[in-house]
């Protein structure tokens, strides 16, 4: 959605730049037209169709009359209602508002999942909001933020979808504790070598509103982690 709105910003940049030239005549450009009537129409039709497809597929429905007026004012060289910087701020604000409306149901789903999960007696919660349960405990040492660990893990979405697993990859992995996203880094430091924990990592401690590959935005990640060794 954000990528598609860049098309609008690009068009806005062009039209407002022409608009801020503030020519003293009504000609669009100096000199005679060099595009035929039909080619000019085809150019506008193609641009309009592409913008319509991009905007409507993401639920963006502008006021068409005002959109055309802004386009006409900018392209004709008349004085525009806003400077370019103001126009970009307005578009960005409208986009953010629309995005919040679209994201609200997804955010609510995550809130409800974490609230229900927190009611289970075996689940513990850290001050950051990380939820975890101890599946297998041990008396081994705990890794620090600066340690490198060797482990097995299985990563799922809150609906059970498996998106990653070292068991399926054929062997454990090694990486520094401080090189992973905050929720997992915090969880690893709770573990002891030889233990197995299950983490419920809120999106704000993982990939947040952007998501990552198969992981959608505002998604709680469920990791089962078996800590094998501190290297």
Q: What are the tens digits of pLDDT across the range 159-216?
A: 999 999 999 988 999 999 999 999 999 999 999 999 999 999 999 999 998 888 889 9
The phi and psi torsions of 31 (rounded to 5 degrees) equal 90, 180
C-alpha span between 41 and 144 (Å, rounded): 65
Q: Where are the strands (E) in the chain, listed by range?
A: 124-125, 131-136, 148-157, 162-165, 173-176, 196-201, 221-230
CATH of the domain at 209: 3.10.50.40
Structural domain count of the chain: 2
75 and 147, same domain (yes or no): no
For residue 161, the enclosing domain spans 120-230
Whats the size of the chain, residue-wise? Answer: 231
pTM of structure: 0.67
Last residue of a domain, one of 46, 69, 100: 100
C-alpha span between 56 and 38 (Å, rounded): 26
- By percentage, how much of the chain surpasses pLDDT 70? 85
């Amino acid at each position: 959605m954000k990528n598609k709105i860049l098309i609008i910003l690009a068009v806005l940049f062009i039209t407002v730049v022409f608009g801020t030239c503030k020519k003293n005549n009504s000609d669009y450009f100096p000199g005679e037209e060099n595009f035929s009537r039909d080619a000019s129409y085809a150019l506008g039709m193609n641009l309009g169709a592409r913008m319509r497809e991009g905007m409507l597929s993401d639920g963006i429905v502008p006021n068409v009359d005002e959109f055309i007026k802004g386009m006409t004012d900018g392209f004709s060289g008349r004085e525009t209602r806003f400077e370019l910087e103001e126009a970009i701020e307005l578009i960005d604000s409208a986009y953010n508002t629309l995005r919040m409306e679209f994201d609200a149901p997804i955010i609510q789903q995550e809130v409800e999942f974490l609230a229900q999960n927190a009611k289970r007696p075996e689940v513990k919660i850290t001050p950051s909001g990380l939820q975890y349960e101890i599946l297998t405990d041990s008396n081994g040492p705990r890794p620090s933020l600066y340690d490198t660990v060797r482990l097995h893990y299985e990563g799922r979405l809150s609906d059970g979808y498996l998106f990653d697993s070292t068991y399926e990859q054929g062997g454990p992995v090694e990486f520094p504790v401080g090189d992973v996203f905050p929720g997992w880094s915090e969880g690893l430091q709770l573990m002891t070598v030889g233990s197995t924990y299950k983490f419920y990592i809120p999106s704000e401690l993982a990939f947040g509103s952007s998501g990552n590959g198969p992981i959608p935005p505002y998604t709680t990640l469920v990791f089962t982690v078996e800590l094998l060794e501190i290297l």
